[in-house]
Amino acid sequence: MSEKVRSEVHHYVREWLDLDNDLRPFYEMAKKDNLLYNAVDEFYGLRNIGIPDLFEAIVWGILGQ
């Protein structure tokens, strides 16, 4: 695999899994929220997967059920 392809795949995966976004401010805010406190504790480290297409997001939602 060429270095260019490897770099593009690396960038795509980091963007798709939102790995460059710092979640610490969210966790600090959630520690003080009664509704989010338990969920953040249980799902700590879980990241949102970016789905840029509405149709794909709907399909993911349906299949995930």
The answer on pLDDT for 48 being more than 90 is no
State the Cα–Cα distance between residues 5 and 3, nearest whole angstrom: 6
Contacts (Cβ under 8 Å, ≥6 apart) of 36: 29, 30
**Domains identified in the chain, total number:** 1
| The predicted structure's pLDDT at residue 47 | 77
Using alpha carbons only, give the angle 21, 9, 7 rounded to the nearest 5 degrees: 90
Looking at residue 25, its pLDDT comes to 92
Query: Contact, 28 vs 36, CB < 8 A?
Result: no
- Taking residues 25-52, what's their average pLDDT? 86
Query: Residue 55 belongs to what domain range?
Result: 3-64
